Structure 1
Amino acid sequence: MSGPPPTAQEAPAALSSIQHGTLQAPPSPQTHRALRRLHDATPPPLYQPTAASNARRSGVKKPVFSHGHLSLQQIIRDGPNDGDFIGALESARWKVVDEGVKAAEDGMSPLRIYVWLVLLDAPIMSTDEYLALIHRGASPAYAKIRNDTFRTLTTDPLFRRRVSEASLIRLLNAIAWRLHDSKEDERQSSRPGSSHSSIPPRDGVAGSHSGQSQAILEPGVYVQGMNVLAAPFLYAARSEAEAFVAFHSLLTRECPGYIRGAMDGVHRGLALVDKVLAIVDPKLGMYLTSKGLSAEIYAFPSVLTLCACTPPLPEVLRLWDFLFAYGPHLNIVCIVAQLTIMRSQILQSQSPNKLLRSFPQLNADLVKSITISIIKKIPDDVYEEIATHAM
């Protein structure tokens, strides 16, 4: 696909064919109301382990939640009973972790994107608001975006069949505009005597972390690799606007450190892969070290993309269900889990670097199971580092 983003006149027609020729029906007003009721719930303290997480760490078999008798679909569709927002949210989290999200063999599910929107605490966004970003044309990052999109999941036939490059370009260009706007807001508010000094960045980062330093609050920018991170959202969503708001929430609320400055959050995550591996499997960790292999060399794509770089895509979606319920920061442990799955091959190889250039096909259930077992072995201080590394 070549050429600039759709113009204001072309955009509505382009969006009418968002997911390969057909724009599926938008969610019903009832679904929007249910999503809003769950979004309006006071979320758990940022990066504190949920009840489900605590249960897994302590070995408790299965806690009882107020909405445990309802299916995940009922919780998402109808919202909380009797105003019990926290109970509904925790019940939904547990059901995602314990039962997963029902989906077809190709990973498609009419429920998944709404589960993600709730778990990511993404705001309701109108299509018109998304269109307004599209109408602005090429963003300052447009050349970088075009250099990335054509090589996104090129070997995955499911993704290539469902998501067009034009769709990916529009989404990333809209994200780049929103991040650009946040940068401009930050510049305005940092000027001495500025009338904007009390206005937080548009992406809401400042509102979530008001106690942190100005450097930490700096909005992110478009970085190479965001195309792969965006891909599962476009595949799972029923519209580009849904994919946009979920992706933007992930970037700005869950892992702003991945797209800020020198991508310090990613580098902290890579150091934690080495640290966790040394704790849970010292022999494997020392062997890789002896071969001069740190996570910086082999795990950068896996950290930045939350393992979306490892096929197959339906397994990535299932792993993301787990990460969004349990905390995207636990991708660090998921990477260590994949290393332990490869343990025998790595230890028997004189050149493990060749093995680590591409991880084996992702098995979400196996990775989740090993991840949960590893979590119990991680000291609290290291767990806290993992929980905050992407901020």
Structure 2
Amino acid sequence: MPSPTKEATAPTHGYTFAHTTDLLPPPSPRTHRALRKLQSAHNLGSRASASSQPSLITQQRLQQQQVLSTPHRDLSHTHGSAAATPPSINTSPAASHHVRQRARANSDAPPMGQHLNSTPANKRSMMGINPRYTHISLAQLIREGPPEGDIPEALGAARRKVLSEGIKTDTDGMSPLRIYAWLIFLDAPILPTDDYLGLIHRGASPAYSKIRNDTFRTLTTDPLFRRRVSEASLIRLLNAVAWKLHDAREAQRLRDRPSIQESAVAASSSASASGSTTRPSTSHSRPSSQGGGSTSSPAAKHRARALTLTTEASSNDPALASEPGTYVQGMNVLAAPFLYAARSETEAFVAFHTLLTRECPAYIRGAMDGVHRGVALVDRVLATVDSRLSGYLLSKGLSAELYAFPSVLTLCACTPPLPEVLRLWDFLFAYGPHLNILCIVAQLMGMRDQLMNSPNPNRLLRAFPSLQADKVIERTLWIIERIPDVIYAVIVTHAL
């Protein structure tokens, strides 16, 4: 049975946000002098203490392998049913008790209610919704919280509404609701605005010069972005994230130092006992002829879309390969939609930092191994769902490494127009950013006829056609039902 499309499974009830929210239009990031007054609407409870409990998305991923080991192709069973089973989510006691009470925000936004759960880690149906949520709009659900405190059901309903109805926006793709939905789906922590300002006041981070080399060319062809987001705002955000990642890396080195010192002492004692004068080899003595994860190959030359695909440090030292980076060229494009959609830089910062550290840490670690794994998965999925197109591209020497690297790294943010990127991100954050791999394959399938009829498909793949989020999402749902569970499990974890 073919997989139901988004339209076929949408509830028949109509919804409107006009009567359920009175959020004011987002202020322009150009008003930097008012930054202190723009206390983030996500800073609810101001100095609330951070919970030491693992995040909800972490709890879900601990159960992932158990869930994926059982058949769950129930997408077709929910065809046209608004009362079908909701998406699978973590219903463990730890998750059901992980609720933050949110007081009135310091900004002019209304309270968001209780914090919902995070993204699903399996491939269960995306179509079901509890009947009691059919008449509750997404805006009302976010503002007032889940009825009777039923977080798992409310989260499933919120995801379903994003999928079937979308988030209402103006002609520029702006919505006062979107950033709050993203923060909830990403399970972003509460962050006082003063903490963000503290990072800014630290001055230039170690990655500052690299950031400045990238920010001026971020989405230069997009007039909506250039009109709303200033380069200074983008510099501040990336520099603050770089400081945060730098602090995390230094903390990790301090934790690892005792074990390193113990190993050195043991090696010295062993050498003294044996009377050997041979110096132990170090990683610095290894030849640097290997490319490692360098992306200065032809893969970076076939996509001129405001990206320079190199890492913060091009060192081949294996000791650095597993360390988290502080900045990777291309992060500027990934950060851009957050600044465009957010009501304040603080909100953009906490959402962007959460995405990097929880959802795709391997994208910015060492030699960007997570991105390379994602690129390989594009080839693997395409070969599974469309072997003819895959074979034709490979016969022309076009592996995904040559055209999909920017789309993997930026979650398709490198493909205009920006309002369509935001719509696609609504879906990705609701059901998991790992689905971006399938979204890239969906775009290739949308280009299928042109690619198959072109003697030189490389010219078409240098810049993907304008993004059409709804069509990409529809094809992605189709692809989900046609890939083996073992491949989907790898997709879920490829960026971790």
Residues 44-59 of structure 1: matches in 2 within 5 Å? 45-46=60-61, 48=64, 57-59=75-77
TM-score between both structures, scaled by the size of structure 2: 0.66
TM-score between both structures, scaled by the size of structure 1: 0.83
Identify the residue that residue 374 of structure 1 maps to in structure 2. 479
d(CA) in 1 for partners of 2:43, 2:252: 35
d(CA) in 2 for partners of 1:26, 1:239: 6
Identify the residue that residue 148 of structure 2 maps to in structure 1. 82
Identify the residue that residue 306 of structure 1 maps to in structure 2. 411
For the 8 Å contact 2:42–2:347, the answer to whether it is kept is no
Q: Deviations over 1:67-116 (max 9, x none)?
A: 44311001110112222122222211111112111111111000000000
Quote how far apart the aligned CAs of 1:282 are: 0.5
Identify the residue that residue 342 of structure 1 maps to in structure 2. 447
Identify the residue that residue 64 of structure 1 maps to in structure 2. 129
Identify the residue that residue 263 of structure 1 maps to in structure 2. 368
- Structure possessing the higher radius of gyration over alpha carbons: 2
Residues 101-180 of structure 1: matches in 2 within 5 Å? 101-180=167-246
For the 8 Å contact 2:362–2:368, the answer to whether it is kept is yes
Identify the residue that residue 14 of structure 2 maps to in structure 1. none
What is the letter of the counterpart of residue 217 of structure 2? Answer: R
Residue 192 of structure 1 aligns to a residue in which SS?
helix
Structure 2: runs of 5+ lacking an equivalent: 1-26, 80-126, 261-318
Identify the residue that residue 203 of structure 1 maps to in structure 2. none
d(CA) in 1 for partners of 2:406, 2:189: 28
For the 8 Å contact 1:117–1:246, the answer to whether it is kept is yes
d(CA) in 2 for partners of 1:163, 1:240: 10
Residue 464 of structure 2 aligns to a residue in which SS?
coil
For the 8 Å contact 1:142–1:173, the answer to whether it is kept is yes
Q: Deviations over 1:261-313 (max 9, x none)?
A: 11000000000000000011101000000000001001110000000000000
Quote how far apart the aligned CAs of 1:341 are: 0.5
Quote how far apart the aligned CAs of 1:59 are: 4.8
Aligned in 2, Cα 1:217/1:102: closer, same or farther, shift over 3 Å? farther
Q: Across the two proteins, how many residue pairs are aligned to each other?
A: 349
- 1:222 and 2:327 are equivalent in the alignment: yes
d(CA) in 1 for partners of 2:364, 2:381: 23
d(CA) in 2 for partners of 1:246, 1:29: 12
Aligned equivalent of 1:97, options 163, 168, 175: 163
Aligned in 2, Cα 1:243/1:218: closer, same or farther, shift over 3 Å? same
For the 8 Å contact 2:56–2:187, the answer to whether it is kept is no
Quote how far apart the aligned CAs of 1:133 are: 0.2
d(CA) in 2 for partners of 1:378, 1:143: 43
Identify the residue that residue 243 of structure 1 maps to in structure 2. 348
What is the letter of the counterpart of residue 330 of structure 1? Answer: L
For the 8 Å contact 2:237–2:345, the answer to whether it is kept is yes
Instruction: Tell me the percent identity.
Output: 65
Residue 179 of structure 1 aligns to a residue in which SS?
helix
Identify the residue that residue 31 of structure 2 maps to in structure 1. 21
Residue 122 of structure 1 aligns to a residue in which SS?
coil
Residue 372 of structure 1 aligns to a residue in which SS?
helix
Quote how far apart the aligned CAs of 1:26 are: 5.0
For the 8 Å contact 1:18–1:240, the answer to whether it is kept is no
Q: Deviations over 1:220-240 (max 9, x none)?
A: 431000000000000000100
What is the letter of the counterpart of residue 163 of structure 1? Answer: V
Identify the residue that residue 421 of structure 2 maps to in structure 1. 316
Aligned in 2, Cα 1:27/1:94: closer, same or farther, shift over 3 Å? farther
Aligned in 2, Cα 1:59/1:161: closer, same or farther, shift over 3 Å? farther
